[in-house]
Structure 1
Amino acid sequence: MRVVVDMNKCQDHGQCVFSAPEVFRMDDDGRLVYVDEPDESLRADVEDAADVCPLQAISIEG
């Protein structure tokens, strides 16, 4: 599984962090950082994160 975040769309709301904290986090500047190839066992959490993103900036490949 590969996670792709369109950083042009992302406005750092951070909703994804609550759904998948193992994959998404906010850095010290309040910007989103993420693991682009998380373990497959986290798929459900990543799918939830993509669903709750208010700007639909998260996609999953594979």
Structure 2
Amino acid sequence: MIDATSSERAALRVVVDLNRCQGYAQCCYAAPDAFFLRGREILFYDPAPPAARRGEIERAVQACPVRAISLQAGADDGDTP
């Protein structure tokens, strides 16, 4: 039996290119439950948000002025650098 929480979390994978990110924080406004800044430059984010947050994550992807955020299907398996 698969845990519902596990299956929800496995549905999305957020990838942020931290070399490209400039700290404009538009993602934080679009999806405050998934992205937040500490200080002016340190971005924290949920790499495997629940599927229920897909809409706000997609808004965050579109809001990023430098296109540093991408949304992929599947959870992070830890093998990707």
Q: TM-score, normalised by structure 1?
A: 0.94
Q: Which has the higher relative contact order, 1 or 2, with Cα contacts under 8 A spaced 6 or more apart?
A: 1
Moved over 4 A (4+): none
1:36 aligned onto 2:51: no
Deviation at 1:30, TM superposition (A): 3.5
Taking the aligned partners of 1:10 and 1:36, their CA distance within structure 2 comes to 15
CA deviations on 1:17-42 (whole Å, 9 max, x unpaired) are 00000100011453111000001000
Tell me the residue number matched to 2:67.
56
Candidates 13, 37, 40, aligned match of 2:24:
13
**Gap runs ≥5 in structure 1:** none
Number of positions where the alignment pairs a residue of Structure 1 with one of Structure 2: 62
Cα RMSD of the aligned pairs, angstroms, is: 1.0
What is the TM-score of this pair, normalised by structure 2? 0.73
Q: Which runs of 5+ in 2 are unaligned?
A: 1-11, 74-81
Identity level (%): 39
